[in-house]
Structure 1
Amino acid sequence: MRFWPRSLSGRIVLLTLLALVVSQLVSFAIWTHERDRFLERVIVGNMSESVASAIRTIDFVPMADRGQALAAMSTDDLRYRLARGPGRGFTNEDNDNRDQARGFEHEFSRRVGVDVERVRVAIGPGLAHGPSRRAGDALRVAVQLDDGAWLRARQRLFDPTRRWARFSLITLVVSGLLMAGIVIVTSRRMTRPLRDLARAAERFGRGEAVAPLPETGAEEIRRSVAAFNRMRERLARFVAERTRMVAALAHDLRTPITALRLRLEFLPDDDNTRAMAATLDDMANMSEASLTFMREEAANEATRNVDLSALIDALCEDYRASGATVTFEPETRIALVCRPVAIRRALRNIIDNALAYGDEARIVLADGDQAITVDIVDAGPGIDEADMKRVFDPFVRLESSRSRDTGGTGLGLSIARSVIQGHGGEIVLINREKGGLRVQIRLPRDGLA
């Protein structure tokens, strides 16, 4: 499969060219077979007529002048001579040609008007079939005259296969180039809806708003595009309904939480009431965080080309202005098509975690051929391997493995992962050998383009 094209257009072109080559080979085989049959009939017919004419002619020529008369009737392709015997090469011991030569002897005897015992035919390489065929004598015929002498005739045939092969090769190349050009243009037009569908599916999978695609092209392509449009509409409706439902639940929780707080005001101030008040505060924070998250998801930020290095540097400058230990050394400008507010929110959540659990955050930005890598490194205790995946679940806080004094609702990493995956990237957690946690973000090089 090394030379098998990856694109549909390339495969169509290759299959078309293969079909052209196969058809040319089949045509050549058929032409060769039919040409051999035709040459046999033409050569045998013309040669028998020519030999009969030569016999009738020399009957009127004196014996002494027959040699000159036959030389005058000879051509470059057909030569005559008189001899005392038929000559060599008429045994026809070759099994492939013996039966055919005997058939020619009977036909010559009928056409010339002599007994078959007085006719000898030998098939030369010019008329032989198979791989041994080459240019040369097609037939050699010897006919015994009434006076006992033998009239020998030799028909030469130059095989036109080589010339035909050259012209056929030229025709094949020209036809292949013309067909390749036509197929490339038509296949690209035919597969354009598929390319548009692939780009739209990629953008839609990354969370970007996608308009309905025009249903054009072949019947199968139109059906695929129509199915994608229906799927896009259903998923968009489902996500919108889910977002509204969760936002409504988070909003409606405010009322009972407020009512419970008011009731706590009338209870004596002890450990139980303070614990209940802390629990209500956590519920209120989780409700507010959920509402904020849903509003930002529903905002559907547009994508644009931004300088990722400048975005990260500006974010780190805000932290440094507040006295946080955040280091970042931008090297070169790295452009990325993304939703900058969402990327900034994801990075802020990760940096907040690094500062809360590791007291510092060091950011390293690297540009690769296929992806852009952002590493956020802290000096904290790290995370147990068993909790690496669970930490991305909403409202999960690993208090037992990290600091017990940290706040938050447990939505930070969940929001960050949603944003990164929405850009077609991935986020992984790696414990450092010397201590600390590395959060590695990989974003595709083409962003959302």
Structure 2
Amino acid sequence: MRMWPRSLAGRIVALTLLALVISQLVSFFIFMHERDRFLERVILGNMADNVAAAMRTLEFVADDERADAVAALSTRDLRYRLAPTPGRAFAGRSDAANRFALDMARNMGMETDRVRVAIGPGLARGPNRRAGDALRMAVQIDEGAWLRARQMVFDPTRHWARSSLMTLAVSAVLMVLIVVLTSRRITAPLRELAGAAERFGRGEEVAPLPEYGAEDIRRSVAAFNRMRERLARYVADRTRMVAAIAHDLRTPITALRLRLEFLPDDDNTRSMAATLEDMARMSEASLTFMREEAATEATRTVDLSALVDALCEDYRAAGATVVFEPDARLALVCRPAAIRRALRNVIDNALTYGQRARLVLLDDRQAVTIQVLDDGPGIDEAEMARVFDPFVRLESSRSRDTGGTGLGLSIARSVVQGHGGDITLANRNEGGLSVSIRLPRTGIN
């Protein structure tokens, strides 16, 4: 399962939330540290002042009345009592407690050994602090008499963690809403650019994109518009040039045919006539190929299974052996006329060199694959890439007697690639050739 978003807007949201969580955690730990130091100083400072005031009060109280005075000085949070010893709570004191005891002794003007401090588990020790004997202090009044003080600490920030989580959740929701709205607006030109590039790559007409958004995005859109214009101009110039050459060849070919009519009928004239016939077919095929390249067709949703079945039925009506067993309805967004043209070229090759063709339709949800199987001699592995080049015919299995010009597979590949797909060849183990046409479902928007 992918945890990291794939879209730019999703990644902006994820990075924003990550930055928010990290900043909140850093703030939380800084606050906890500073809060602990603040509470320790405040609580210990107040306790030292209160204990010093209590000791000064006891100086004016008779010994037999000290117990009542200590009880009167006690409050709910700070309680005093007299005892002959400091108590067991001060055994094994921590370094922090010793430092506080030293500071208190200095502030009260007393010897250090007459002051004891014990820091309880509830004082300034994290979010699990509880009210209780957070701090104990014992001060020796005179020989055999110690004034014990017990400070009850109620942490005013004990609910801070819960409040922080609520604040974090509210901030995250608001930030996600803001980032989603702004990121969608920021990435809108990129989505338009991606869609236009996909359509232009399939040979569709694409109008110049509006240049708006951030400066970097505007430059990218402007560069795409310039590229689109240059490529369209280049393709148009190439198409016109090849079409003009193929068209102009008709005149000298026709003139040569007429001249041959006045020559004796022998092997040389028959060979020259065959050559002229090949040139005429190549010229017509070139014109057809360029018209196919320049042609544009609107895309629409079709039942590919029905389209293939109807095409095979046309072949069967003409007496050809073409086998296809239609399955369930298979919807695909495509240019149906172009798909029929590509399939017709592949099926023609299968019938010419394999005498029969069998079509299989496969669906793997992401793409649709049309396999055309024949029983011919197959193709050498080293030659498979060449057969898609224009005017290439493999003489070992495809002779001029077949009447082909070598443009059928070129046209088929152009159509398939125009749909964002691919066409591949493979020799079958049982003999024959397998042509696989893979058409992605997302190839056309």
> Above 0.5 in TM-score?
yes
Q: Is the 8 A contact 2:388 2:413 kept in 1?
A: yes
Partner of 1:218: 214
Partner of 1:397: 393
Matches within 5 A, 1:333-372: 333-372=329-368
Matches within 5 A, 1:102-113: 102-107=102-107, 109-110=108-109
Q: Is the 8 A contact 2:129 2:158 kept in 1?
A: no
Q: How far off is 1:416 after superposition?
A: 0.6
Q: Find the aligned partners of 1:144 and 1:427 in 2 and give their Cα distance.
A: 97
Q: How far off is 1:271 after superposition?
A: 0.8
Whether 1:329 and 2:325 are equivalent positions in the alignment is yes
Q: How far off is 1:93 after superposition?
A: 5.0
Aligned length: 445
Matches within 5 A, 1:196-345: 196-345=192-341
Aligned partner of 2:379 among 376, 383, 395: 383
Q: How far off is 1:289 after superposition?
A: 0.9
The one-letter code matched in structure 2 to 1:164 is W
Partner of 2:370: 374
Q: Which moved more, 1:393-402 or 1:18-27?
A: 393-402
What CA deviation, in whole Å up to 9, does each residue of 1:155-184 have, x standing for no partner?
122445652212222222222222222222
SS at match of 1:145: strand
Matches within 5 A, 1:425-440: 425-440=421-436
Q: Find the aligned partners of 1:100 and 1:190 in 2 and give their Cα distance.
A: 58
Partner of 1:414: 410
Q: Which moved more, 1:282-291 or 1:212-221?
A: 212-221
The two structures, once aligned, show a CA RMSD in angstroms of 2.5
Q: How far off is 1:52 after superposition?
A: 2.9
Q: How far off is 1:56 after superposition?
A: 3.5
Whether 1:157 and 2:153 are equivalent positions in the alignment is yes
Give ranges in structure 2 of 5+ residues lacking alignment.
none
Identity of aligned residues (%): 74
The one-letter code matched in structure 2 to 1:11 is R
SS at match of 1:398: coil
SS at match of 1:193: helix
Q: Find the aligned partners of 1:410 and 1:128 in 2 and give their Cα distance.
A: 86
Give ranges in structure 1 of 5+ residues lacking alignment.
none
Q: Is the 8 A contact 1:207 1:423 kept in 2?
A: no
Partner of 2:46: 46
TM-score by length of 1: 0.91
TM-score by length of 2: 0.92
Q: Is the 8 A contact 1:125 1:132 kept in 2?
A: no
Q: Find the aligned partners of 2:127 and 2:162 in 1 and give their Cα distance.
A: 18
Q: How far off is 1:60 after superposition?
A: 4.2
Partner of 1:56: 56
Q: Is the 8 A contact 2:40 2:124 kept in 1?
A: no
SS at match of 1:195: helix
Q: How far off is 1:136 after superposition?
A: 4.2
SS at match of 1:397: coil
What CA deviation, in whole Å up to 9, does each residue of 1:24-75 have, x standing for no partner?
1111122122212321332133212322332333344443333233223222
Q: Find the aligned partners of 1:98 and 1:82 in 2 and give their Cα distance.
A: 22
Q: How far off is 1:265 after superposition?
A: 2.6
Q: Is the 8 A contact 1:92 1:98 kept in 2?
A: no
